[in-house]
Amino acid sequence: MKTFEEKWTAWLDGQLSGPELAEFEASLPDKAAAEGEKREAKKLGALLKEQLGSRVLSNADFFNHQLRQRIESDDERSEEPAEASSTGWSIQRMFWAGATSLAVFAVCAVLVMREKQPAEQSEYLTQVLNARVDPTISPNATVSMFEAKEHAVTVLWTEGLQSLPAEYAAK
């Protein structure tokens, strides 16, 4: 079942015929006005066909040449940023930047760890590994050693060494 709009469009295009045409024209409230609209529509259609119809190019080669030039210049413009990006941050460059950053980080980490490595107390302070006095010169001498941690020094302490007169203090 066609709607009134569908029948109207078909009537304007001259596609209704027979009883369908008679029935539709009988349903029109003002047939004269409708006929006028039909004529206007036909005129408009003819005008559009005339204006929008394909035009023949008088200088096709020149047009093709211009078109190719436009396409080429567009291609060049669209390639420029791609080239810049390839010279700027290509995957290869990103790889090298990453590798270099890692290398620098590794070196810094090694340096910091070397500096901050907590040394054990025995490594921090000087250690006396052994000590002895000549028993023939100082038979009663003894040696001992201690770490004065509050002063961060190590002391080798002797007792009983041969005492010497004051002139031995000379420079």
Q: Which positions touch other proteins (CB under 8 A)?
A: 96, 99-100, 103, 106-107, 110-111, 114, 119, 122-134, 137-138, 143, 147-148, 151-158, 161-171
Burial class (CB in 10 A: 0-12, 13-18, 19+), 85: exposed
User: Closer to other proteins at the Cβ: 32 or 169?
Assistant: 169
C-beta of 17 vs 122, nearer to other proteins: 122
Nearest residue (CB) to other proteins, 12 versus 161: 161
**Could you give the C-alpha distances from 52 to 38, 47, 48, 55, 163, in angstroms and in order?**
21, 8, 6, 8, 129
- In the complex, what is the shortest distance from the CB of residue 161 to other proteins, in angstroms, rounded to a whole number? 4
Taking the complex as a whole, the smallest distance from the CB of residue 107 to other proteins amounts, in Å, to: 5
Q: C-beta of 82: minimal distance to other proteins in Å?
A: 22
Distance CA 37, CA 31 (A): 10
Are 80 and 74 in contact, with CB atoms under 8 Å apart? no
Residue 29 or 135 with smaller CB distance to other proteins? 135
Angle at 14 between CA 8 and CA 19, to 5 degrees: 75
**Residue 165: CB minimum distance to other proteins, A:** 6
b/e for 42-55, b at 16 or more Cβ within 10 A? eeeeeeeeeeeeee
